[in-house]
Homo-oligomer: A and B are copies of this chain.
Amino acid sequence: MKLALGERRKREKEQRRRIILRAARKLFFKRGYKPVTVSDIAKKVELSKGAIYLYFSSKEEICAQVLLDDIERFHGEVLPIFETGADASEIFIGFAHMYVDFFLKDRELFRMVMNFMLHANNMNLSDDTNKRIILETNRAVSVTENIFKYGIDRGEFILRREDVRTMRNAFWGMLNGIISLHLFIGRESTREDRIRSNVNKCLGIFIEGLKKTG
């Protein structure tokens, strides 16, 4: 009789999983999700298609894990912003810029995330992946909500606490919406600095609205 997967094997398996993910990421970002086939990924890591399915249950699952890794990385990068002691408006702007920069590095990443949000309901993902999605979603939510609460506590924002959730939605919506429009609609001005300046202006107006007394 045999025991379950030895330690070293487990490690090697995890390592191979990561190699596949890296390859998939590169391919997806270069050619887009749909055009990349599972065989393409297999070829790139010198495995057969069947082998890929020993590590991932579906192409969608690969996509989800690529995106989750990136989002986790973003959340890691964004944390220090809260240590600065800046006021809520500055934190907002800082957060928004990090978000924009994050997605401008790989525009296909943003498209994939949006697409994923749109269709996640109809995807068959592993329990583990679903857990990660919920975790990261909650993290994103609480990060932004906390900025609003911080602003309220400091007396910086005129906003009822029960409206924080609404404003959090508006904030995310605005940020994603502006990026979408620039990347996929605007033929003009998709230069990074242009997008950044637009985000600045929009958030400026929004924050003015939050500050306005009476």
Point out residues on A near B: beta carbons under 8 Å: 32, 34, 111, 114-115, 117-122, 137, 163, 166-167, 169-170, 172-182, 184-186, 197-198, 201-202, 204-212
Q: B202 to A169, Cβ gap below 8 A?
A: yes
Closest 6 CB pairs of A and B: A173-B177, A209-B209, A170-B202, A205-B209, A208-B209, A177-B177
- Contacts A118-B111, A118-B114, A209-B208 given: A178-B170 contact, CB under 8 Å? yes
With A115-B118, A209-B212 given, can you name 11 additional A-B contacts, CB distance below 8 Å?
A: A34-B122, A111-B119, A166-B197, A169-B198, A172-B177, A173-B175, A205-B210, A207-B209, A208-B208, A208-B212, A209-B210
- Contacts A117-B184, A173-B174, A212-B212 given: A166-B206 contact, CB under 8 Å? no
Number of copies: 2
What residue of chain B has the Cβ atom nearest to residue A141's Cβ?
B185
The residue that A167 contacts in the complex, of B201, B207, B209, with Cβ under 8 A, is: B201
Query: Chain B residues near A173 (CB, 8 Å)?
Result: 173-181, 202
What residue of chain B has the Cβ atom nearest to residue A203's Cβ?
B170
Can you identify 6 A-B contacts, CB atoms within 8 angstroms? A114-B118, A118-B180, A169-B182, A172-B181, A173-B181, A205-B210
Query: Chain B residues near A175 (CB, 8 Å)?
Result: 173, 177
What is the CB-to-nearest-CB distance from A171 to chain B, in angstroms, rounded to a whole number? 9
The residue that A176 contacts in the complex, of B137, B180, B182, B209, with Cβ under 8 A, is: B180
Q: A121 to B212, Cβ gap below 8 A?
A: no
What residue of chain B has the Cβ atom nearest to residue A134's Cβ?
B187
Chain B CB within 10 A, most for which of A169, A181, A186, A202: A169
- Contacts A180-B176, A185-B137, A212-B212 given: A170-B117 contact, CB under 8 Å? no
**Complex CA–CA separation, A176 to B181 (angstroms):** 10
